[in-house]
């Protein structure tokens, strides 16, 4: 079996912004404290939800430093270091390694895309440049391509490629990947609303948007399942399914940042081209949050 970076609920952490669009590092520390107090099992910085695509390298470096300093080794810190340039992905991954991250999350190449053979070599060359564990990230709705089960099998033979975040939305695809790769590739759900199905197939957790606002609840959903307390896990999962889905009423992370602002955090807006949540969805989100907080 490969090294397990974490089991349970990893938060795909938002990047809080000031009114002028700069990263709000003071608020970032508050968010990290919130997760440490509420049993989040790992923190993933500047992935999709963290707006990694619009962050500069010096901002990414400082986010890692602040996060590691605050976490103090209590839980793994994972950096999103993917790029559609293999050279660039290596540079970002080496930065994360040198700063002390526990692992890197590397999305498939986007826009220029590649063949499955190109995809294999992209990840192989990245893996050869690092000592860190690598978590693959398959999200075809964002990138325009997918990792085939057969390519997953080839990649699972590489020692430091240890896991994947599967956000394909295709349960049959995920089942085939787990069937082929077994213990040589751990699987995290990349979609909150598919957490239980992926765990049922043999996944070991989730990299979650929902846990930004309900960290303990997502920790409990996963930990209960992994402890074989299936009914309790399922009950909690269905209780929060509506809000999980509501967080995707617009492009992620627009709704979850709005939700955090409603809950009293100062996360600001997303960087353009991501724009504000419309008023209709704001009202729906506000009402749903109010109802859930009253039910807790």
Q: What is the largest CA-CA distance in the chain?
A: 51
294: pLDDT strictly greater than 60: no
pLDDT at 292: 87
23: pLDDT strictly greater than 50: yes
Active site residue 282: no
HSE-up (13 A, CA, CB side) for residue 259: 29
Report the distance separating Cα 21 and Cα 270, nearest Å. Answer: 8
Chain segment 235-274, per-residue pLDDT in tens: 999 999 999 999 999 999 999 999 999 999 999 999 999 9
Strands 42-45 and 8-12: parallel
Q: Tell me how crowded residue 56 is: count the other CB atoms within 10 A of its CB.
A: 9
Distances in Å between the alpha carbon of 259 and those of 17, 55, 87, 249, 252?
14, 21, 36, 12, 12
42: pLDDT strictly greater than 80: yes
Residues 6+ apart with CB under 8 A from 254: 270, 274, 275, 276, 277
Report the distance separating Cα 4 and Cα 18, nearest Å. Answer: 35
Chain segment 89-134, per-residue pLDDT in tens: 999 999 999 999 999 999 999 999 999 999 999 999 999 999 999 9
219: pLDDT strictly greater than 50: yes
Q: Across the strands, what pairs with 44? A: 12, 78
pLDDT at 46: 96
Residue with tokens 């994947």: 164
CA proximity to 243, closest of 171, 174, 294, 205: 294
Coarse DSSP helix, strand, coil percentages of the chain, rounded to the nearest 5 percent: 50, 15, 35
Burial (Cβ within 10 Å: 0-12, 13-18, ≥19) of residue 63? buried
Confidence of residue 296 (pLDDT cuts 50, 70, 90): very low
293: pLDDT strictly greater than 90: no
Average pLDDT, the chain: 97
Domains of the chain, CATH where assigned: 8-230 (3.20.20.70)
pTM of the model: 0.96
Active-site residue identified among 120, 137, 152, 188: 137
Active-site residue identified among 165, 188, 240, 257: 165
Active site residue 94: no
Strands 161-166 and 205-208: unpaired
Report the distance separating Cα 67 and Cα 45, nearest Å. Answer: 8
Residue with tokens 């197939």: 201
Q: Tell me how crowded residue 97 is: count the other CB atoms within 10 A of its CB.
A: 18
Which residue intervals of the chain are DSSP H helices? 25-37, 57-71, 86-99, 116-128, 140-143, 149-155, 171-181, 195-201, 215-226, 230-239, 241-246, 254-262, 279-295
277 neighbors 254 (Cβ within 8 angstroms): yes
The length of the chain in residues reads 296
Is the preceding peptide bond at 83 cis, omega within 30 degrees of 0? no
pLDDT at 139: 98
Q: Tell me how crowded residue 43 is: count the other CB atoms within 10 A of its CB.
A: 28
Q: Across the strands, what pairs with 17? A: 23
Chain segment 58-97, per-residue pLDDT in tens: 999 999 999 999 999 999 999 999 999 999 999 999 999 9
């Amino acid at each position: 079996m490969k090294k397990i970076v974490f089991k349970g609920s990893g938060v795909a952490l938002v990047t809080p912004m000031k009114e002028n669009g700069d990263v709000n590092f003071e608020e970032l520390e508050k968010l990290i404290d919130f997760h440490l107090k509420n049993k989040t099992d790992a923190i993933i910085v500047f992935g999709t939800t963290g707006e990694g695509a619009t962050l500069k390298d010096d901002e990414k470096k400082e986010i890692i430093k602040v996060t590691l300093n605050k976490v103090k080794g209590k839980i793994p810190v994972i950096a999103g270091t993917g790029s559609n340039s293999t050279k660039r992905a290596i540079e970002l991954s080496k930065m994360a390694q040198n700063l002390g991250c526990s692992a890197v999350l590397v999305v498939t190449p986007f826009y220029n895309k590649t063949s499955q053979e190109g995809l294999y070599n992209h990840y192989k060359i990245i893996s050869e440049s690092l000592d860190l564990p690598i978590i693959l990230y398959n999200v075809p709705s964002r990138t325009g391509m997918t990792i085939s089960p057969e390519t997953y099998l080839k990649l699972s033979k590489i020692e430091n490629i240890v896991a994947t975040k599967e956000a394909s939305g295709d349960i049959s695809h995920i089942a085939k990947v787990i069937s082929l790769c077994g213990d040589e590739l751990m699987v995290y759900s990349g979609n909150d609303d598919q957490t239980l199905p992926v765990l049922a197939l043999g996944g070991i957790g989730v990299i979650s948007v929902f846990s930004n606002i309900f960290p303990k609840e997502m920790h409990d959903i996963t930990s209960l399942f992994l402890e074989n307390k299936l009914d309790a896990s399922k009950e909690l999962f269905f209780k929060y399914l509506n809000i999980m889905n509501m967080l995707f009423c617009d492009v992620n992370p627009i709704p979850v940042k709005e939700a955090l602002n409603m809950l009293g955090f100062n996360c600001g807006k997303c960087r353009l081209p991501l724009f504000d949540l419309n008023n209709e969805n704001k009202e729906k989100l506000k009402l749903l949050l109010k109802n859930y907080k009253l039910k807790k």
